[in-house]
Amino acid sequence: MATPLYLTNGCCEPAHATLELLDEWNLPYSLDSGGFHPLTAEELAYIGEDTVEVGKSGYVALLGYTGLYDGRKWLMPVIEITYQGDQNPDAVLPTRDEAHSLTNALASELQVILGFAGGYVFQDEGYDRFIIELCLPFSLAYEQGSYEAWKRYLKDNLFASIDPVALTAVPPEFGT
């Protein structure tokens, strides 16, 4: 399965999309005195440099990311699960294997939840972390009426059932 292309980064800035690519897919974007932005003003209103708790997992979803997948734009909250590595040898973090198990368990749980919302879950790995990318339709956010209501919906509805006890592949101190 192909993975999404980042349209915006965690700071809501343009990432990897080009004007030509969005034209090819016949997708709208913004052009103003600041230049090209892959999102329209309406889409930009539903992202921010904020986080939302992912249930009681101890992790948060970063809300500035958006993506292009299967010819559509998606809101793409990102969850990062950092592990012990060369970059952070003194940090108290799970091992790579523990973080990988946690990532798989969390991604599986989220796929069930997001499937009902018309979304997708993808996994990736960075230099010291596993990354869970959640693709959610913009229409789901628009139904909430505002960015603040969207954040509440994520926290209180989509992510509310995530429980560290269910993520038994990892020692409890890393899931709380």
**Please, which pLDDT band fits residue 127 given cuts at 50, 70 and 90?**
confident
Q: What is the mean pLDDT of residues 100-122?
A: 92
SS3 35: strand
Q: Which of 9-18, 50-59, 160-169 has the lowest average pLDDT? A: 160-169
Largest CA distance in the chain: 51
Q: Which pTM was predicted?
A: 0.88
Strand partners, 131: 80, 124
Percent residues over pLDDT 70 in the chain: 88
Q: What pLDDT, on the 0 to 100 scale, is given for residue 170?
A: 45
Does the structure show a pLDDT above 90 at 176?
no
148 near 141, Cβ under 8 Å? no
**Please, which pLDDT band fits residue 175 given cuts at 50, 70 and 90?**
very low
Cα dist. 94→53, 98, 100, 141 in Å? 19, 6, 9, 33
List, in sequence order, every beta strand (DSSP E) within the chain.
5-8, 30-32, 35-37, 51-53, 60-62, 66-69, 72-75, 78-82, 120-125, 129-137
